[in-house]
A and B are shown apart, each in its own frame.
Chain A
Amino acid sequence: MVEDRIEREIVVAAPRERVWEIITQAEHVGTWFGESAQVDLRPGGELVLRWEKYGSFYGSIEKIDEPNYLSYRWVPGIPDVKPTNENSTLVEFTLTPEGADTRVRVVETGFGRLPRNESERAEQFQDNTEGWTTKLHDLQQYAEKLPV
Chain B
Amino acid sequence: MNARKGDVDEVLVALADPMRRRLLDALSAHPQATATALAEKLPVTRQAIVKHLTVLEQAGLVEARKHGREVQFAVRPERLESTAQWMRGVAAAWDHRLTAIKRLAEKPKTNKTERDHDRS
A-side residues, CB < 8 A to B, are: 1-4, 6, 8-10, 12-14, 18-19, 22-23, 28, 31-33, 76, 102, 104, 106, 108, 110-114, 116-117, 119, 122-123, 125-126, 129-130, 132-133, 136-137, 139-140, 143-148
- In the A-B complex, the 6 residue pairs with the smallest Cβ-Cβ separation, listed nearest first, are A112-B16, A32-B100, A116-B9, A14-B105, A136-B96, A112-B12
> Which listed segment binds A: B36-44, B45-53, B62-70, B87-95?
B87-95
Asked if residues B21 and A3 are in contact (CB atoms below 8 Å), the reply is yes
Q: Across the interface, which residues of A come within 8 angstroms of B5, CB to CB?
A: 122-123, 125-126, 129
A126 vs B98: C-alpha distance in the bound complex, in angstroms? 22
What's the least CB distance linking B17 to chain A, in Å? 8
A111 vs B84: C-alpha distance in the bound complex, in angstroms? 12
A136 vs B91: C-alpha distance in the bound complex, in angstroms? 12
A6 vs B96: C-alpha distance in the bound complex, in angstroms? 14
Q: Which of B61-120 contact A (CB under 8 A)?
A: 80, 83-84, 86-87, 89-110, 114-115, 118-119
